[in-house]
Amino acid sequence: MANIPYRTYLTEEQMPKYWYNMRADMKQQHDPFIHPGTMKPAVKEDLLPVFCEELVNQEMNTTDRYIEIPEQVREFYRTYRPAPLIRAYNLEKELGTPAKIYYKFEGNNTSGSHKLNSAVAQVYYAKEQGITSLTTETGAGQWGTALSMAAAYFKIPLTVYMVKVSSQQKPYRKAIIETFGGKVIPSPSDTTEAGRKILAENPETGGSLGCAISEAVEKAVTTPNSRYVLGSVLDQVLLHQAIIGSECKAAMELLGEQPDIMIGCAGGGSNLGGFISEYMGERLQGKNNIRFIAVEPASCPSFTRGKYAYDFCDTGRMTPLAKMYTLGSDFMPSPIHAGGLRYHGMSPILSKLYHDGMLEARAVSQTSVFDAAITFSRVEQILPAPESSHAIRVAIDEALKCKETGEAKTILFNLTGTGYFDMTAYQQYNEGRMTDYIPTDADLEVGFESLRKLPVNEGLL
Amino acid sequence: MANIPYRTYLTEEQMPKYWYNMRADMKQQHDPFIHPGTMKPAVKEDLLPVFCEELVNQEMNTTDRYIEIPEQVREFYRTYRPAPLIRAYNLEKELGTPAKIYYKFEGNNTSGSHKLNSAVAQVYYAKEQGITSLTTETGAGQWGTALSMAAAYFKIPLTVYMVKVSSQQKPYRKAIIETFGGKVIPSPSDTTEAGRKILAENPETGGSLGCAISEAVEKAVTTPNSRYVLGSVLDQVLLHQAIIGSECKAAMELLGEQPDIMIGCAGGGSNLGGFISEYMGERLQGKNNIRFIAVEPASCPSFTRGKYAYDFCDTGRMTPLAKMYTLGSDFMPSPIHAGGLRYHGMSPILSKLYHDGMLEARAVSQTSVFDAAITFSRVEQILPAPESSHAIRVAIDEALKCKETGEAKTILFNLTGTGYFDMTAYQQYNEGRMTDYIPTDADLEVGFESLRKLPVNEGLL
């Protein structure tokens, strides 16, 4: 115990200078994006109206194992990174487990989450290309905050479509985005065709990430010299988030430690994809046998109850189709508090890995997640975001299994963010007013119906 | 630039093992506390019903230069410390100043401020003494959060009297205290004599720190085996907060740097007292010539417009009297957003240093403070607490003076906390609804009247 500190920070010299591109080590790539108009594989030109060119290049790059992090992005990283690797001595003691528990803490910045890692990269490339305005969507608000911070730093105007239910549950999230100069529009809104269509069909909807994406994409492609930025799902986002895993692996190796199990929450998959990247790359090369576990909410179980099929990334059906685990773009998740995990689909890279048996998945209920969050916060002295607490839940479960079996496994999880803007959820939990939402099979059928109707899924479902 | 990193973290081995006791290097001590009943200097026995014995010992200890930090407290410190020393490269660039700007960032923990440094020490000593419940007050809510975290860790029940206006402005602060198991009572309340008396006189009052202190002290002394803990003003609190200054000095020395100016905000004085302690100790010994600047709100100007006199630490006149700069315990500050600075008095140690000319003071207006906060946040990517932003305001002012004179001074300030729970204030500012409150001389006379009536001040005013 004495030799391993509570917190390990890399020095600036030890910080990664490259993003690790996991796809270079995947023997098979995920199926290509499909253009929604032609229903044929999307090519670079299809994506250029939506994304900056350099980001499209990264999206398509399956061969370069390392991509250099631009100097200005590294400079920005130094304002809040390195993120610490923490040995959870107090949690181990509280649980009485022989397991060693580590977590990477990505919430030590004003956005409160890992989202900043990709936000700054995407804003930087937009600035380089001379883009004059950006749009995006946000669920829990962490991505919107992160992007507004990066946009303020590089001085680019930003419009954020925020899932309506989140903007109501988290008014202060909206305020912080505005403090950094971002313009917030609750979604669905009447500012886009996509929004108006959804409102016409369901005026009372609380919105969803998929729906907010539709609005943000439409706004970007209909505004001159504007582009859209996405905080999750895409390969480019996982690429930028690989800095989590690279820092983590460097720190673990400094300590002489090797994980047996790695755990992350999964909404669109960005934190998990980045967190496991280098270790997964090694596993793909047969160099380790780590168990990787994705944790998702039981209310939005893309991996554990979804279909592996082509689907739109958004509810408005404007985006390219991705081959992924999905509940169907029509699936409207119930308003659980982990807004960042309310997404119908899942990163194509992670979907492929899951399909190939390299990744496990587990669905957990909301109240059990808050149970874990409370246990964790009182001993580790960090108030976790509801999203991150999904990973805590399974880390605790695995540590308790070790207690039963007497095994001293090394468990490593990603604590993606803090819950300072989730206090309404904690209030509900504290007052015993929190309930669980588990969709019935009939609920899921609604989304699956839309998948079966897509010609590109013929024979798949 | 290349040699100095953005962020410097000490290793666990480099972290201080002792609290530095500045009083051991003060040639003259501040005047003693006065017992409110006898109007004679308070002795140890007078304080024991209110505070734990070991804390009373520390309160009275003017001779030991170093006091060992107990192992369990150091263990707790390791859950969130070391706090980084940050080189504000981005702020320097934004201002175009030749000055070198550094800040110690004490907000990187769930309480969002430096308050945790003393909270854990006080709870630890209470636990050691077998105390079974604790009471305290909180203004901005940071102290209450910090204490609830420490109380959860050491498993002691806690009641927090929260200044009513703060509990209304910051409902999520209340929620986070409750998440860690603390019981929150808006003050003034009907649960104490002191509260009922104040409510009877002024039913619409938003409360004040002084008033909340009265309630918490009364509750502690009327509950068996209970004690009161205070987050500021007292010598013991400055002692615990000395860890800020010791870490800071160690980190500056690692970088080969020496400050010319040190700046901190001042409400009760705990962060400033701790922050400057080691450097002030050296100055008292003639070893440096650093300028120390206390920054207070123009709406509550204890140093710049107050009297150096004996006064009660609370509005209910239950506590011992301290010789300090004060606006009078009857002074009811206007509801500015920096709740942590709404206190009529000031640490006796800092008051003595100010009186002796070792410390400067400056009062700044609320809107100018938020101007500075916005400039800072957009380039340094940290959203500061309104309290902390008082220090930012003066750091920027000093850096701009350097720009005029061409001097490359080294400016070091203490960024005590984050503003995540102050979003209503930021909202007001963003929407142009924020105003400044400057008390008139007539406003101040109300408080001074009460001071003149105290026999112990005869001949002083």
Instruction: Give the pLDDT mean for B206-231.
Output: 92
* Residues B372, B369: Cα–Cα separation, whole Å: 5
Please, which residues have CB within 8 angstroms of residue A224's CB and are 6 or more apart in sequence? none
pLDDT value for B328: 95
Q: Which chain B residue is nearest to residue A4, measuring alpha carbons? A: B12
Closest CA to A364 of A275, A300, A307: A300
pLDDT value for A354: 98
Please, which residues have CB within 8 angstroms of residue B445's CB and are 6 or more apart in sequence? none
Instruction: Give the pLDDT mean for A13-34.
Output: 97
pLDDT value for A211: 87
DSSP state of A323: E
- Give chain A positions within 8 Å (CB) of B421: 172, 420
Residue A123 has pLDDT above 60, yes or no: yes
Does residue B254 sit at the A interface (CB-CB below 8 Å)?
no
Spatial contact of B100 and B257, defined as CB atoms under 8 Å apart: yes
- Give chain A positions within 8 Å (CB) of B380: 79
Instruction: Give the pLDDT mean for B258-265.
Output: 98
Instruction: Give the pLDDT mean for A326-339.
Output: 83
Q: Taking CB atoms and an 8 Å limit, are A110 and B383 in contact across chains?
A: yes
Instruction: Give the pLDDT mean for B378-395.
Output: 97
Per residue in B73-118, pLDDT (tens digit) is: 999 999 999 999 999 999 999 999 999 999 999 999 999 999 999 9
A-proximal residues of B, 155-184, CB under 8 Å? 171-172, 175-176, 178-181
pLDDT value for A201: 93
User: A42-60 in b/e burial notation, b at 16+ Cβ within 10 A?
Assistant: beeebbeebbbebbbbbbb
Residue A1 has pLDDT above 50, yes or no: no
* Residues A125, A108: Cα–Cα separation, whole Å: 24
User: B239-276 in b/e burial notation, b at 16+ Cβ within 10 A?
Assistant: bbbbbbbbbbbbbbeeeebebbbbbbbbbbbbbbbbbb
Q: Which chain B residue is nearest to residue A371, measuring alpha carbons? A: B179
pLDDT band at A333 (very low <50, low <70, confident <90, very high): confident
pLDDT value for A342: 81
Number of alpha helices (DSSP H) and beta strands (DSSP E) in chain A: 18, 15
pLDDT band at B1 (very low <50, low <70, confident <90, very high): very low
Per residue in A423-448, pLDDT (tens digit) is: 889 999 999 999 999 999 999 999 99
Task: Phi first, then psi: give them for residue A134, nearest 5 degrees.
Answer: -130, 155
Instruction: Give the pLDDT mean for A315-342.
Output: 85
Does residue B6 sit at the A interface (CB-CB below 8 Å)?
yes
Does residue B153 sit at the A interface (CB-CB below 8 Å)?
yes
- The closest CB to that of B79, out of A78, A179, A381, belongs to A381
pLDDT band at A367 (very low <50, low <70, confident <90, very high): very high
Q: Is A459 left (phi over 0), alpha (psi -120 to 50) or beta?
A: left
- Terminus-to-terminus CA distance in chain B, angstroms? 52
Instruction: Give the pLDDT mean for B301-317.
Output: 93
Chain A nearest-CA distance from B153, in A, is: 6
Chain B nearest-CA distance from A181, in A, is: 9
Does residue A437 sit at the B interface (CB-CB below 8 Å)?
no
pLDDT value for A126: 98
pLDDT value for B334: 77
Per residue in A62-101, pLDDT (tens digit) is: 999 999 999 999 999 999 999 999 999 999 999 999 999 9
Q: Count of CB atoms within 10 A of residue A367's CB?
A: 14
Q: Taking CB atoms and an 8 Å limit, are B153 and A76 in contact across chains?
A: no
Q: Count of CB atoms within 10 A of residue B403's CB?
A: 14
Q: What percent of chain B has pLDDT over 90?
A: 85
Chain A nearest-CA distance from B110, in A, is: 5
Return the sign of the alpha-carbon dihedral for residues A450, A237, A37, A188. positive
Q: Taking CB atoms and an 8 Å limit, are A172 and B76 in contact across chains?
A: no
Q: Which chain A residue is nearest to residue B152, measuring alpha carbons? A: A378
DSSP class per residue in A135-194 = EEEESSSHHHHHHHHHHHHHT--EEEEEEHHHHHH-HHHHHHHHHTT-EEEEES-TTSHH
Residue B438 has pLDDT above 80, yes or no: yes
Residue B2 has pLDDT above 70, yes or no: no
- Give chain A positions within 8 Å (CB) of B374: 179
Q: Which chain B residue is nearest to residue A120, measuring alpha carbons? A: B381
- Give chain B positions within 8 Å (CB) of A178: 427, 430
* Residues B368, B372: Cα–Cα separation, whole Å: 6
Domains of chain B, earliest start first: 7-15+71-112+235-453 (3.40.50.1100), 23-36+48-66+114-228 (3.40.50.1100)
* Residues B292, A115: Cα–Cα separation, whole Å: 38
Per residue in A167-177, pLDDT (tens digit) is: 887 888 889 99
- The closest CB to that of B179, out of A80, A152, A426, belongs to A426
Per residue in B329-370, pLDDT (tens digit) is: 888 777 777 777 888 999 999 999 999 999 999 999 999 999
> Rounded mean pLDDT of chain A?
94
- The closest CB to that of A149, out of B109, B180, B381, belongs to B381
> Rounded mean pLDDT of chain B?
94
pLDDT value for B74: 97
Least confident interval from A136-140, A184-188, A212-216, B315-319: B315-319
ipTM greater than 0.85 = yes
Residue A299 has pLDDT above 90, yes or no: yes
- The closest CB to that of A383, out of B90, B110, B424, belongs to B110
Please, which residues have CB within 8 angstroms of residue B45's CB and are 6 or more apart in sequence? none
- The closest CB to that of B426, out of A78, A179, A426, belongs to A179
pLDDT value for B459: 80
pLDDT band at B323 (very low <50, low <70, confident <90, very high): very high
In the β-sheet with A133-138, what is the strand arrangement from edge to edge?
Answer: A183-187, A158-163, A133-138, A226-228
DSSP state of A289: -
pLDDT value for A232: 86
DSSP state of B261: E
Residue A2 has pLDDT above 70, yes or no: no
Instruction: Give the pLDDT mean for B194-202.
Output: 94
B-proximal residues of A, 373-392, CB under 8 Å? 374, 377-383
Please, which residues have CB within 8 angstroms of residue A244's CB and are 6 or more apart in sequence? A83, A104, A106, A114, A117, A271, A274, A275, A277, A414
